[in-house]
């Protein structure tokens, strides 16, 4: 049997093929649903194929929720309010914490903090082992006595000690110490030290200690202690210390050694001349003056060996020494009168050193001998820079040997010798002149009729020569003066 292409397909097969293609009975399909509004939940239902009436989860049957977006300004205000509340709570907690003070009085430790000012390591000012054995300490506000001047304390230092000393340590320590004789203090065996303290914050007083110490056997002193690390450093605790010597009863008080190491403490010395004699005196400070004074223009302190040192301030007064005297400053003036008294039986020279920088030196020097003997020796050295140097010798023993070395820079240098001087000199400068004023009619200091002689050789920047009474030439001393960019003057009047 031959079947051609025109043979019609089986109806049942054709119908099944149309049904499989989804195109059969198009006229009998229900119409599509109405096009919904954009954004409705019916879109999501149609996309998921839930369009038949028999579907159980039709979106039309679900509850409809409408989400409204909150304005940005309102969200910002709510967030700002929460942040402000958190900040206030933190501020309250922090303020409460920094007011706390934790102490351990037995070990001398303290946690000191007050608003915006903290002690870095939380320590009270307190001695260390190297400061020596503690005899007595006054610390914390409750241990200080009270009067109209503020918190105070008193200590006694034995005059029999080999060394008496005072020192300070700590970021807040500064003040002044005054040395006087007091008729109110009658104990001949001791010195009284009265201390008062001024402070800005109560916490500063709580962190301050003043202690009586024994560094070694025979060495007794007082230490001023404040916390060593305080950040930031406020205005410090200011100590007023008055050292009272008893009035001597015809015999000067003899102090073997007195030492101070008191940074930022001013030193004032009253009239102790003829009443108190220091075998050794050392006064050291920084950024504060050291002054030996009585009244407006009288100054006096006596010692065999003395060293006076400060910085960024001045040294002023009248210092008497029979061994050695050093006046040392930096960035400040020295205006001091020095009396050098040679009583050495072996001819040892008495020495004077005056040294500063960026400040002037003005000094009147008097040389004395213990008796009418001659041949005493004195050495004087004066050095500064960038400021004037002016020294005058107003008196000297006959036939005493005097060696002087004076130097500055960028400023004039002037030395005036007493009539007793006999010796050579050498003067030098750059960019300045040299002058040697001379009085050949000066009166003979020995009361005789000797004539005064001067020999000098000079050029523009250098001069040397000698001065003597009568010929032949006598070499009883030597003077060297030098500067730069300024004149040099040697007065022989």
pLDDT tens for each residue of the chain, 493 residues long:
444 444 444 444 444 443 444 444 444 455 555 444 444 444 444 444 444 444 444 444 555 445 556 677 777 777 878 888 888 888 777 665 544 433 343 334 433 333 333 444 446 889 999 999 999 999 877 778 876 667 899 999 999 999 999 999 988 889 999 999 888 887 888 999 999 998 887 878 888 899 999 999 999 999 999 888 765 555 667 999 999 999 877 788 999 999 999 999 999 998 787 789 999 999 999 999 999 975 555 557 899 999 999 999 999 999 999 999 999 999 999 999 999 999 888 879 999 999 999 999 999 999 998 765 556 899 999 999 999 999 999 999 988 999 999 999 999 999 999 999 999 999 999 999 999 999 989 999 988 889 999 999 998 899 999 999 986 777 889 999 999 999 999 999 8
Give dist(CA 400, CA 387) in Å, integer.
Answer: 30
Backbone phi, psi, residue 18, to 5°: -65, -40
CB 412 within 8 A of CB 388: yes
Task: Say how many C-beta atoms besides its own lie within 10 A of residue 17's C-beta.
Answer: 12
Q: Where are the domains of the chain?
A: 122-299, 322-492
Q: What is the pTM of this model?
A: 0.75
CB 394 within 8 A of CB 421: no
DSSP 410: S
- For residue 24 the two structure tokens come to 């059969």
Element (H, E) at 72: helix 72-98
Q: Is 151 left (phi over 0), alpha (psi -120 to 50) or beta?
A: beta
Q: What is the pLDDT of residue 98?
A: 47
Angle of CA points 66, 69, 71, to nearest 5°: 150
Map residue 472 onto helix, strand or coil: coil
Element (H, E) at 11: helix 11-21
Give dist(CA 179, CA 441) in Å, integer.
Answer: 46
CB burial of residue 197 (10 Å; 0-12, 13-18, 19+): buried
User: Is beta strand 462-469 parallel, antiparallel or unpaired with respect to 423-428?
Assistant: antiparallel
CB 452 within 8 A of CB 398: no
- For residue 127 the two structure tokens come to 């001695």
């Amino acid at each position: 049997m031959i079947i051609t292409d025109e043979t019609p397909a089986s109806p049942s097969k054709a119908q099944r093929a149309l049904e499989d293609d989804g195109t059969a009975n198009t006229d009998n399909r229900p119409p599509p649903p109405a096009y919904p509004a954009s954004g409705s939940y019916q879109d999501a239902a149609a996309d998921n194929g839930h369009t038949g009436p028999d579907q159980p989860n039709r979106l039309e049957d679900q509850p409809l929720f409408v989400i409204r977006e909150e304005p940005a300004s309102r969200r910002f205000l709510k967030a700002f309010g929460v942040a402000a509340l958190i900040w206030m709570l933190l501020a309250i907690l922090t303020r409460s914490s920094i007011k706390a003070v934790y102490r351990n009085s037995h070990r001398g430790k303290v946690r000191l903090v007050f608003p915006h000012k903290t002690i870095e390591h939380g320590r009270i000012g307190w001695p260390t082992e190297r400061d020596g054995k503690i005899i007595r300490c006054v610390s914390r506000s409750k241990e200080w006595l009270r009067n109209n001047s503020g918190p105070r304390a008193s200590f006694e230092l034995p005059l029999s000690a080999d060394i008496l000393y005072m020192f300070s340590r700590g970021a807040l320590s500064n003040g002044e110490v005054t040395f006087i004789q007091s008729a109110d203090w009658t104990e001949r065996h001791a010195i009284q030290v009265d201390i008062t303290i001024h402070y800005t914050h109560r916490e500063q007083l709580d962190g301050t200690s003043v202690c009586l110490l024994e560094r070694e056997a025979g060495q007794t002193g007082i230490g001023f202690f404040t916390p060593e690390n305080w950040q930031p450093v406020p205005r410090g605790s200011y100590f007023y210390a008055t050292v009272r010597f008893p009035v001597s009863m015809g015999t000067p008080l003899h102090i073997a050694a007195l030492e101070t190491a008191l940074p930022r403490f001013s030193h004032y010395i009253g009239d102790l001349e003829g009443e108190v004699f220091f075998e050794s005196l050392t006064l050291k400070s920084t950024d504060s003056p050291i002054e030996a004074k009585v009244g407006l223009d009288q100054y006096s302190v006596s010692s065999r060996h003395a060293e006076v040192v400060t910085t960024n301030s001045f040294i002023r007064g009248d210092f008497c020494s029979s061994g050695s005297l050093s006046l040392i400053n930096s960035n400040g003036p020295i205006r001091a009168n020095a009396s050098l008294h040679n009583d050495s039986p072996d001819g040892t020279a008495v020495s004077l050193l005056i040294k500063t920088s960026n400040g002037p030196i003005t000094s009147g020097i008097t040389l004395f001998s213990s008796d009418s003997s001659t041949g005493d020796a004195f050495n004087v050295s004066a050095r500064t820079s960038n400021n004037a140097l002016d020294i005058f010798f107003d008196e000297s023993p006959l036939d005493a040997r005097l060696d002087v070395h004076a130097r500055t820079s960028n400023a004039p240098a002037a030395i005036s010798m007493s009539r007793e001087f006999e010796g050579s000199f050498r003067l030098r400068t750059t960019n300045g002149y040299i002058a040697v004023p001379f009085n050949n009619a000066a009166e003979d200091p020995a009361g005789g009729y000797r004539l005064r002689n001067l020999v000098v050789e000079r050029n523009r920047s250098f001069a040397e020569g000698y001065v003597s009474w009568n010929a032949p030439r006598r070499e009883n001393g030597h003077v060297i003066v030098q500067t730069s960019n300024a004149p040099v003057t040697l007065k022989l009047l």
